[in-house]
Amino acid sequence: MKAELWGAAFTALWTGMLTSVSPCPLATNIAALGYISKQSGSHKLAVLAHGGLYALGRALAYAAVGFLIVRSLLSAPAFSFFMQRHGGQLLSPLLVLAGMYMLGLVGSNFSGFDLFAFPGFRARAGAVSTLLMGFLFALAFCPVSAALYFGIILPLAAKTGAPLTLPLLYGLGTALPVAGMALALDLGLRKIPAVTGLAGKFERRARPATGWVFVAAGVYLGLKDIFGVI
């Protein structure tokens, strides 16, 4: 069980990082950091500080939503027992579908959704407003974040009985690239296209590799928990 939990923790963290540099979330993060950069003025490390708060807001949003959903489901004994006994069988097709989605084989028409839509939301770059901006923007689920968060992270959290840990790790994973971009801006890399270019190169290489890993993991769980071959 401990090895399974460590594997789930790594999956949540890595998936969060990959989500953050996917085109739709990346565009949102860059827009937010660009706005923060303009509002922060020339104060040293200001962009990094506010970028960290924005990233923390995103992590807290994913952790809060995941905890409320998974905790509520696990409080039902029947569901908790089902996940403990049949979680692997449920995760098998979900992992395969998530991997195929990341490889571009399915779900091309999925457009994502907003839990809270604030198209006109603007905030001055104060500490509380920056934190709130990250929290709210995280709730505008893009296709990648919605598919991976609700399709993989939450079922995995339910199966391992970690309603807070895995959503929080996913949120921290989405926050790490944002903090890195804020640091790059603070160190003088003020050209946004340069930042997006580096993140885009990483995403284009990491996404298909992760997709194949998800497919392989789903097939393995299917052979083990559904067909009993392994």
pLDDT digits (tens, 9 = 90+) for 132-187: 989 988 988 888 899 999 999 999 999 999 999 999 999 999 988 888 888 777 77
Region 12-33: mean pLDDT is: 88
User: Does 223 fall in a domain?
Assistant: no
Q: Say how many Å lie between the first and final Cα of the chain, rounded.
A: 18
More confident residue, 125 or 100: 100
The number of domains in the chain is 1
pLDDT at 158: 93
User: Does 25 fall in a domain?
Assistant: yes
SS3 at position 114: strand
Alpha-carbon separation of residue 128 from 83, 114, 125, 177 (angstroms): 38, 22, 8, 21
Region 89-115: mean pLDDT is: 81
Report helix angle 165-186 to 192-221, nearest 10. 160
pLDDT in tens, 34-47: 777 776 665 657 77
User: Does 212 fall in a domain?
Assistant: no
User: Does 102 fall in a domain?
Assistant: no
Region 42-65: mean pLDDT is: 85
User: Does 222 fall in a domain?
Assistant: no
SS3 at position 113: strand
Q: Categorize the per-residue pLDDT at 122 as very low, low, confident or very high, splitting at 50, 70 and 90.
A: very low
* CB atoms near residue 131 (< 10 Å): 20
- Which among 61, 71, 204 has a CA at the least distance from the CA of 138? 61
| Most confident region among 12-26, 46-60, 107-121 by mean pLDDT | 12-26
Residue 130 exposed, middle or buried by CB count within 10 Å (0-12, 13-18, 19+): buried
Spatial neighbors of 157 by CB under 8 A, at least 6 apart, are 8, 12, 66, 70, 163, 165, 166, 167
pLDDT at 127: 81
More confident residue, 122 or 217: 217
Its pTM stands at: 0.85
pLDDT in tens, 183-230: 777 776 655 666 667 777 888 899 999 999 999 999 999 999 999 888
User: Does 70 fall in a domain?
Assistant: yes
- Give the DSSP letter of residue 223: I
Q: Which domain holds residue 55?
A: 2-86+112-143+160-202
User: Does 97 fall in a domain?
Assistant: no
pLDDT at 190: 55
pLDDT at 43: 64
Alpha-carbon separation of residue 42 from 47, 118, 171, 185 (angstroms): 9, 28, 29, 12
Q: Is residue 169 within 8 Å of residue 16, measured between CB atoms? A: yes
d(CA 127, CA 95): 38
Whether pLDDT at 114 is above 60? no
User: Does 19 fall in a domain?
Assistant: yes
